[in-house]
Amino acid sequence: MDYSKLTWKDITPTNIKAFVLGYFRSWTVALYNEHFRWVEERAKYREEQVAIKSPECLNHGSCKHCGCTIPELFYADKACSATPPCYEAINSKDEWIEFKTIQSLTKTIQSLTQAQ
């Protein structure tokens, strides 16, 4: 992360929480992946979305919008701070399962409509 771009306005309770959660979850997944598979899936999805929508963030190793380090940012609950965001906030396992179900149904409907 380029700390020279960090200003006092960037140090907010939300960003501090995201920083702590991101690092904690990335370490937890590394140690106990079986119980936190949904967190790893969500992080991989977010990485794919950033690669499509804002690849320069991946190239620099930090978000160009909020300055948080990558990949730890992908483990935090908050949505991407870009407008429009690269990915949305998903804060629980239940929300992730619901999101995946909706995405799967959307892809199925799109493939059915394209086949007609």
Average pLDDT value over all residues in the chain: 85
Report the Cα 17 to chain-centroid distance in Å.
14
In this structure, which amino acid lies at residue 8?
Answer: W
Lowest mean pLDDT among 20-29, 45-54, 65-74, 94-103: 20-29
Per residue in 27-69, pLDDT (tens digit) is 777 777 667 788 889 999 999 999 999 999 999 999 998 888 8
- What's the pTM value of the predicted model, to 2 decimals? 0.69
Residues 6+ apart with CB under 8 A from 104: none
Domain locations along the chain? 3-90
List residues bridging with 62 in a β-sheet: 69
Backbone torsions φ then ψ of 62, nearest 5 degrees: -155, 155
